[in-house]
Amino acid sequence: MASQSTTVSQPSLPVIFTTKTPYPIPAQKFMVPASWRRYQLSQLINKALDLPQVVPFDFIVRGEILRGNLAEWARERGEETVELEYIESVMPPRKMAALPHEDWTSSISCQVPGRFLTSSYDGAVRIFDYSQKLLCTAPIHTACTTSVCAVPSTTERASDGLLLATSSHDLTARLTRVGFPDSPSEKEEITQLASLHLHTAPLSSIDVDPSGTKLLTASWDTLLGIFDTTIPSVDEVAPDPLPARQKKRRRVEMTEVPKKVPLAVLRSHTARVSQARWREGGKGAVSVGFDSAVRVWDVEREICAHTVSASEKPFLALALLSAGEVGGGGVLAASADRAVTLYDLRAESVRAASATFAHMGGVPSSLATGSKETQFVSGGYDGVVRLWDVRSAGKEMASFKVWEGKGEGKVLSVDWREDVVGIAGEGGVEVWRITEQGS
């Protein structure tokens, strides 16, 4: 830095630093050489604060993360004073493991500690542990299983195993209990508990609320169903009056499980619902669909509380930002026009879209938020997973390509828990690690 400052001929730019991190520096104008890059700026902050341990920072200028030097940025924008917001930097994501699958995997869930749940197009749900060992293969559905989630158990008994909720193209969602044996020699116990009957078209997603008592299903038939997780003893659905021969035979093949009916049906969408998720606390739900609408549901009153209607944006996926200071509990929705849009649900106005994250590569098909309230990952059909910060809408923080060397593999699902990002798609499942330097 000292050598930089001695070169007098170099032009310098006035810079103002702001931050929301716990490392603030006094708001004043710094004259900074225009050739400085992120590294020098980060060093400057560290020196100014005299931190005991070096914390790398990233710098955001006008909603775009700073790559290259300040002079390039100032030349492109033609501005005099540069306002830099600095955030803690993210290390480049590292690939941790690859979990091979024979068929395409449609979804992954990392929410169970130490486990990866994957659902595949062959209808099976597979459970891996963190040592990449396949614990269990549960052939639950005869058609593609579109999503899987683990119902948090209300009773704290490990011997109960996992209660899985799956949704499928065979028009049903199922509750399945997988009991893990005590000794590895025994076979795991897979019990199909209930089949959730409402939809007349393939289901696109299922989600369980944090308390583990309610399930939310979304389907192509524009409906959302709310089910509880209690296991019925008898069929709640009237026996099928259809005497079709081949239907009967096919149903006989499947294991007979009690059929459940929904607690409530939410109908407001006019086209396929692509994903639905519970909001924090389980009081409400958010769904997105092909009718370019983001709907916020009041589940208790079974009404649509708020609707954000976009124009010609068939939404494919949904993620909820935690209600922090920056994200504000917004909804991220990925649409087929290659953009992820952040909708601020607090805004009552029509213009609720607060930021748009353009994916030039391909259609973003899946979104996931982690523990960081301002960051999310998006996976696209171009096989690239991007890490975004909501403050930097112009450029992603980091991006990496999965299934390197296997051609074009679509990412169909991402999930993020703590520093583990699970990516499922055409080429199987990959697990990556995203860490911050400071933590």
Partner 1 sequence: MEGGLEMESEDEAGEGGEDEGDDGEVDAWPEIDPASDTEEEGDEEDEGEDEEQDEEDEESSSSDSSSLHIFPKAKTVISSITGQPKKVYPEIEPDYDSDSSTEDAPNRVGNIPLHWYDDLPHVGYDIDGKKVLKPARGDELDKFLRTVEDPEAWTSAFDKNTQMDKPLTAEELDIIRRLERHENPDASYDPYTPTVEWFTGEGKQEIMPLSAGPEPKRRWVPSKWEKKKVMKIVRAIRQGRIVPSKPKSTAPQFYALWGDDAAAAAHAAPLPAPKPRLPTHAESYNPPAEYLPTADEKKAWEDAEPEDRERDFVPTQHPALRLVPAYDRFVQERFARQLDLYLAPRVQRVKLTRDPSALVPKLPAPSTLRPFPQHRALRFVHLDARVRALGVSPDGAWVASADERGDVCLWEVCVGREVRRWAFGSSIGALEWCPRTDVCFFVVSTEDALHFIVPPHLPPAVAVTTHDLLAPAELPPAPLGTAPAPAKWTSHSADADALLTVALPPGGGVPRCIAWHRRGDYLASVSSGEGPGGVWVHQVSRRHSQAPFKKVTGAVQCVRFHPVKPHFFVATQRYVRIYDLAEQKLLKTLLPGIRWISAMDVHPSGEHLIVGGYDRKLCWFDLGLSDKPYKVMRYHTRAIRSLAFHGTYPLFASASDDGALQLFHARVHADLMADPLIVPLKILRGHDVADGLGVLAVGWVPGKPWAVSAGADGGVVVWMH
Which residues of the shown chain bind partner 1 in the complex (CB under 8 A)?
104, 106, 121, 143-144, 169-171, 200-202, 220-221, 240, 242, 244-247, 271-272, 290, 312, 314, 316, 336-338, 362-363, 365, 381, 408, 410, 412
Nearer to partner 1, 95 or 247 (CB): 247
Minimal distance, residue 20 CB to partner 1, in Å: 35
Nearer to partner 1, 170 or 344 (CB): 170
What's at 32, amino acid-wise?
V
Minimal distance, residue 423 CB to partner 1, in Å: 15
Q: CA quadruple 7, 11, 16, 20: dihedral positive or negative? A: negative
Nearer to partner 1, 187 or 249 (CB): 249
Interior angle at CA 222, CA 346 and CA 289, nearest 5: 45
Nearer to partner 1, 98 or 143 (CB): 143
Minimal distance, residue 229 CB to partner 1, in Å: 25
Minimal distance, residue 344 CB to partner 1, in Å: 24
Minimal distance, residue 128 CB to partner 1, in Å: 21
Nearer to partner 1, 291 or 389 (CB): 291
Name residues whose C-beta falls within 8 Å of residue 273's C-beta, 6 or more positions apart in sequence. 204, 205, 218, 219, 220, 222, 223, 224, 287, 288, 289, 290
The pairing of beta strand 124-129 with beta strand 115-120: antiparallel
Nearer to partner 1, 288 or 397 (CB): 288
Distance (Å, whole) CA 192 – CA 195: 8
Nearer to partner 1, 19 or 275 (CB): 275
Provide the CA 6 distance to its chain's centre, in angstroms. 48
Neighbours of 130 (CB within 10 A): 14
Torsion on CA atoms 273, 423, 226, 292, rounded to nearest 10 = -20
Provide the CA 103 distance to its chain's centre, in angstroms. 22
Nearer to partner 1, 258 or 324 (CB): 258
Q: Which pair of structure tokens corresponds to residue 290? A: 């092909």
Minimal distance, residue 275 CB to partner 1, in Å: 12
Minimal distance, residue 283 CB to partner 1, in Å: 30
Minimal distance, residue 85 CB to partner 1, in Å: 32
